[in-house]
Amino acid sequence: MFESVPTSSGPGLHRTALAFARGHALTLRVVVAILISLAFLLFASEAFFTRAASRELIQQEARSYVADARALETAQQEGSDPADALDDVLDLVDSIEDRLGIVSAELLDAGGQVVSAPRDANLGSDRGAEHPLHLGPSYDDVVTREKGRAFEFVVPIRLNGDRFQLRVEEDGAILHDRIDAVRTEALVFSVVSLLVGMGLFYALGGRMLARRHSLVVKRATRDPLTDLGNHRSFQEELARALAVATRQGEPLALALVDLDDLKSVNDRFGHRRGDEVLVEVARVLEHGRGVDRAFRIGGDEFALLLPGLDCGRARDAVARRADARADGAATPFTAGVATVSPGEPIDPTVLWEQADAALYEGKRSGGSQVVVFDDFEEPPVIVTPAKTQALRALLRERRLETVFQPIMDLHDGQLLGLEALARPWKGYGFEGPAEMFEVAEKLGRAHELDDVCRAAALARANELPDDVLLFLNVSPQSLTHGTLTGDGLQLHAVVAAGLDPAQVVLEITERSDVRLSQVIAGAIRLHRLGFRLALDDVGAGNAGLEMLRQLPVDYVKIDRSVIVAATDDTHAQAVLLAVIAYARCAQACVIAEGIETEQILSFVRNARELQTIHDAPITGGQGYLLGHPSSHIPHDIVAFDQGLAA
């Protein structure tokens, strides 16, 4: 049923190894810690314990030769004849040399001459240069030196009041064997202690700790209900898949999936059935090629990564899953698909935004369909990291130009008001103010941008002609955020700019995703502060009539699309008449936007012909024909075009 594409086992093996590493991270860290501890114990054993034990063994040997030296002194003192006493001493030296492991034993006088025994081939030779003992001020220290595998001990003694040295050279094999035995014992003790400690750790709770850690790690990256990767896992895998696709020059598709009516399933059949539906969707999304990856990233939201698929094949792959879902249960889903062309560098955030925009279009169009971002004739604004940085810079630097577009009174052709419009500095990279505000709305910072634009417009309030209204656009997010409804609009700032609140008209658009009740409540509070209200873009959204019913608006600005269509479309004319009728009931003045041609102007001025009343239903007009936005503010209120006067 699903597309089967031969793929290498590399990605699967990689994911398996990655999952194993994540699930056994604590175990791996414990093993590494054990190995490091063992290495440290070995180093400590060698550096401290073994060396200390070696020094102790050597000192024991030295003490034994000190005891021999004292025995020589005693033998000399007990002899009755000096010559016989010296012979006894030399015999004792020979007996030392006869011991096991002794290479040589010599008695040296104070000058370093060997006097130990007649059989010694070195008798009478000078060893003073080899033995610095006799040169020092103290004659009580034992000198110990290691010569290769052998050890040499030089002990000072006194015979009949004269200074002598007992020099013993010992074969180091025996001593080294003893040192090696100590080293081995220390190593065995360290390893056994470590193993015993590990066993105690494992028996006293280490096993349970490892299991719980593995469970916590799994829950951190896996959805507990569907066992799909969660949002965190998806973000990591998306960045990795994009890097692989770019490096290998292959396409990549991302699909965002949203169930169409999970809430009704929960309400009707209970949350248990809702959970079953989520699991079913997860299995459907998983069923496909081995390289495809499915994730649950929200309550009823899923994501699907499709490596190697271009736009058309990705659409087909997701559509097959949607068909399988429709055949198996009553809750279908909507999917938005975005793709990356081979070798195209793209930020993960951009790809996500594209898929999300396609999903939103699918939901807005009724749901239960697959929408591809590349199919948009006019793609929506995508918030890239560069645009995010640009907006932050704009809010920080406040580099804006304020232009004013005239709003004409169509009855007498005079200036009714000026609408303040913001233009961002070109260095920020925005294509225009519309993109600037769309990015701000998506980032939840439209209220901040509103504040910057409003401050820039009020800074030029002293240039306005007398008795001319200042129209200011207000983002619905500002109304819900609370920055306008208290001191946020800064009533004192308006007064400080030399304006009365009644001179300021706040334009509120009906095109918004913000909750309507919050927008209306915020607008009413502003109206109570003395500001006038205008409902902007009426006819372009779906909330205009409802806002007209609840808001005390002073002006209704009909969207350009309605005005242009009404010139030759009876359905658009019906919409126009409905808006005018509502405005009349609300005692609001009607302003037509988008007057750009003589034909549109003539239609607007003669709109009375569309209804039975005789007075002109549209009071004001705005558009390029009447005046372009300009940084110049006119100081006279005569008609821009004398032909406009009735």
- Chain mean position to CA 210: 27
When pLDDT is averaged across residues 216-232 and rounded to a whole number, the result is 80
The pLDDT of residue 121: 47
The pLDDT of residue 5: 40
Question: Does position 250 have pLDDT exceeding 80, yes or no?
Answer: yes
- Find which of 170-184, 278-292, 629-643 is predicted with most confidence, using mean pLDDT: 278-292
| Per-residue pLDDT band at 9 (split at 50, 70, 90) | very low
CATH 3.30.450.20 fits 47-177, yes or no: yes
Question: Does position 644 have pLDDT exceeding 60, yes or no?
Answer: no
3-state secondary structure 124-140: CCECHHHCHHHHCCCCC
* Average pLDDT value over all residues in the chain: 79
| Per-residue pLDDT band at 296 (split at 50, 70, 90) | very high
* Residue of 491 and 499 predicted with greater confidence: 499
Question: Does position 2 have pLDDT exceeding 50, yes or no?
Answer: no
Backbone angles phi, psi at 620, to 5 degrees: -120, 165
The tokens for 211 are 């299991």
Whole-Å CA distances, 401 to 470, 508, 579, 630, 632: 16, 21, 33, 10, 11
**How many distinct helices (H) and strands (E) make up the chain?**
21, 17
Domain residue extents for the chain: 47-177, 231-375, 398-644
When pLDDT is averaged across residues 264-269 and rounded to a whole number, the result is 84
The tokens for 109 are 């006088």
Class of domain 231-375: alpha beta
Instruction: Quick: pLDDT tens for 178-194.
Output: 777 777 777 777 777 77
Task: Determine the topology of domain 398-644 in CATH.
Answer: TIM Barrel (3.20.20)
Question: Does position 485 have pLDDT exceeding 60, yes or no?
Answer: no
Helix axes 311-328, 271-286, angle to 10 degrees: 140
The pTM (predicted TM-score) of the whole model is 0.60
Asked if 512 contacts 450 with a C-beta cutoff of 8 angstroms, the reply is no
| Per-residue pLDDT band at 251 (split at 50, 70, 90) | very high
Instruction: Quick: pLDDT tens for 91-119.
Output: 888 888 888 888 888 888 877 788 765 44
* Residue of 232 and 29 predicted with greater confidence: 232
The pLDDT of residue 380: 78
Element (H, E) at 356: helix 348-364
Q: Considering the chain, what percentage of its residues have pLDDT values greater than 70?
A: 78
| Per-residue pLDDT band at 46 (split at 50, 70, 90) | low
The pLDDT of residue 137: 44
| Per-residue pLDDT band at 27 (split at 50, 70, 90) | low
Rounded Cα–Cα distance for residues 377 and 360 (Å): 15
* Residue of 83 and 484 predicted with greater confidence: 83
Instruction: Tell which residue, 498, 469, 503, 475, has the closest CA to residue 488.
Output: 475
Secondary structure of residue 560 in the 3-state scheme: helix
| Per-residue pLDDT band at 329 (split at 50, 70, 90) | low
3-state secondary structure 161-216: CEEEEEEEEECHHHHHHHHHHHHHHHHHHHHHHHHHHHHHHHHHHHHHHHHHHHHH
Rounded Cα–Cα distance for residues 256 and 541 (Å): 26
Rounded Cα–Cα distance for residues 600 and 565 (Å): 10
Instruction: Quick: pLDDT tens for 203-221.
Output: 666 666 666 666 666 667 7
